[in-house]
Chains A and B, each alone.
With several copies, the nearest count.
Chain A
Amino acid sequence: MKVKIGILSFAHLHAEAYVTALRAIPEVDLIGFADDDAQRGERFASQFELRRFPSYEALLEQKPHGVIVCSENSRHAPLVNMAAQAGVHVLCEKPLATTVRDAEAMVAQCRKAGVHLMTAFPMRFSTPLEVVKARLDSGELGDVHCFNASNQGELPKKHREWFVDKTLAGGGAIMDHTVHLVDVMRWYLGCEAAEVYAVANRIFHADEVEVETGGIVWVTFENGVFATIDCSWSRPPYWPSWGGLSFEMVTSRGAVLVDAFKQNLTVFSHTLQRPQWAFWGSDPNQAMLSDFVRAIAEDRPPRVSGEDGLRAVEVVEAAYRALELGQPVRLR
């Protein structure tokens, strides 16, 4: 059986990588995409030689098995709900939503409609992170005590202007770079966040954007494990890559340092006149999309749920509340 997949919106740059990744999966029939931005739609239709439907509704009328929602963060909710009503499984770009209320509604709608809602957390499919998770589960590493984590990056504005628009993105660096690591920690610990604290500033790119560009989010889990997440857009535009995701996990037996994007060649070229990192590790996006497609084909839930996305949004919302209060906020 071919699994029919469509893409709703190319607002998020990941849509581009997803097209390539989907085309590498033999069982996928990529039926096309729709985008409410006509200019953007035309550009990608021609760049990828991909069928463009005149509207999201028109795409959904084709009865795809699944869709991937790549709209702006605050526009995930209507598209996910539309897909759910059409009885179509959904993989939704992270963060699942910009508010807990939206995220809860999306989870509820999909449950009611009986469709899978998967949150795009590719780090669950990062081979190094999977290896460490297996070692942790085997008991080899002892019990986790804390995380010192970092998901720094460049200013995403250079890819898409809306990433730094508070209304469309839902916030700045905290909204952009907190959820991946929160999800990794929940996955590793099998435990929920209990308390959140955060600090932020706007010194990087202060003249270009109005959202926070630097920040640290603290998370304490129900089992007492505590963590910091550096979510700053602190990498300059001439950094050798877009940024990275790494953490030190301290356990009862020592520490493990994990870097999801360290498998790189360093390439110096006359063209660029500076070093660049060329990643040769296994592509987590590819594995994530395969899981979404196989989950549909095998009629089983994907390895990441909508609830996983919701839990991460809860932490982000609490982080913004903590910023206002200047003190930790309890979640549960």
Chain B
Amino acid sequence: MLRVGIVGAGSMGAAHAAGWSQTPAHLVGFLTETFDPNLPLAQRHGATVFRSFDELLDAVDVVDICTPTHLHASMIVRAAEKRKHVVCEKPLALSTQEALRAVRACREAGVHLLVAHVVRYFPEYALAKSLVDEGAIGRVATLRLLRGSYRPRKPVGNWFLDESKSGGILMDLMIHDMDYARWIAGEVATVFARKITSVRPDSALDYGLVVLQHRSGAITHLAGAWAYPPPTFRTQFEISGDCGVIIHDSQATAPIESLILRPAGNAVPEVGLPSSPLAEDPYTTEIKAFYHTLVEGAPSRVTPEDGLAAVQIAEAAVRSAAEGKAIHLEPISV
């Protein structure tokens, strides 16, 4: 039986844990920054709490890394050294160089590296991808993607707001759609980006705009917001081809609308998350797919190179926003 350990017990750690519990894998335990033998998430899953990363690695076949982004690469390299398969939250790393180090380490060790670009497992995004692949709208010309919510909060040490840890809105939030745009329209040649906090470092909210030119000629326009009133979370896309258009708007297609007076004081989640009602949570769909790759070798919808390329695009966006220039991407040889 496949043994899994999760590093990190924030919202992603919890979502992945729920996913693993829907597979035949054995969720052995968790590791968190501060050791807590009574970690509620571990108790909920009847799992142990480890004291160190190495202790966890020794007890598992797969490590699922849900830590702040700046910690990803070195953990992946260490796991590869120990010949453990890796599932890693997006972004794979904060820089192309670090991501490359992680990808190479896994390749050399012969272990799987599964980057959790969960958007590919959301049914609306997956359906649009298959429609495009079927030729429903012809050749893709322009792609518009929006992902908007409020600034992530954390009870302590909000690493999301520390760009040296999360990469900020371009790297942390908008990488979702950068990966999706590349999935739809292919390799990216040029990146141009702006974000509020580059212009106004003290801003209490952030909003990024990014335009990608794909080698295919297609243009992608990305908008990412940490600017809306909680608990807003909305996504939109519009894929226009020379033979049609596909449109998604999470708000216009929400199947439940509440006009209830004084709703019970629902706590706002730390991080805005999509929530259209589905029989299976897309995080679970993703983890189930990863499980099949791990045990049966089924090809994964997300390859290590996909995770790497997304980091390269996001890193270029960060640089473009800082320098005010268009950044041209070179193909990376892994």
Contact = CB atoms under 8 A, between A and B. Distances in A.
Asked if the two chains touch in their complex, CB atoms less than 8 Å apart, one says yes
A236 interface: yes
22 contacts: A131-B277, A146-B196, A146-B207, A148-B207, A195-B324, A199-B192, A214-B142, A216-B219, A228-B211, A235-B245, A236-B244, A255-B148, A256-B257, A258-B256, A263-B253, A264-B253, A265-B247, A267-B244, A267-B247, A268-B244, A283-B279, A287-B279
Closest 9 A-B residue pairs measured CB to CB? Answer: A203-B141, A282-B279, A269-B244, A128-B255, A254-B260, A270-B243, A257-B257, A280-B123, A234-B240
Interface string A145-179: 11010100000000000000000000000000000
Interface string B222-259: 01010111000000000011111111100001111111
Contacts of B2: none
B227 to A, nearest CB: 6
A232 interface: yes
Contact of A280 (B124, B139, B245): B124
B136 interface: yes
Interface of A: 127-128, 130-132, 140-142, 145-146, 148, 150, 195, 197, 199-201, 203-206, 213-216, 218, 220, 224, 226, 228, 230, 232, 234-236, 239, 248, 250-271, 278, 280-283, 287, 326-328
A282 B204 CA distance: 37
B242 A203 contact: yes
Contacts of A265: 124, 127-128, 131, 246-248
A278 B262 CA distance: 35
A282 B127 contact: no
B117 interface: no
B15 interface: no
Given A234-B240, A250-B227, A253-B262, 13 more contacts: A127-B278, A128-B277, A148-B223, A197-B326, A235-B245, A258-B256, A263-B255, A263-B276, A265-B124, A266-B246, A281-B276, A282-B277, A326-B326
A251 B228 CA distance: 10
Nearest to B196: A145
Most A CB atoms within 10 A — which of B142, B246, B261, B264? B142
B243 A269 contact: yes
Interface of B: 123-124, 126-128, 131, 136-142, 144, 146, 148, 190, 192, 194, 196, 199-200, 203-205, 207, 209, 211, 213, 217-219, 221, 223, 225, 227-229, 240-248, 253-264, 276-280, 324-326, 328
B192 A218 contact: yes
Given A145-B200, A148-B209, A250-B196, A268 B245 contact: yes
B186 to A, nearest CB: 13
A278 B244 CA distance: 14
Contacts of A263: 123-124, 253, 255, 276
A145 B128 CA distance: 32
A232 B240 contact: yes
Contacts of A252: 203-205
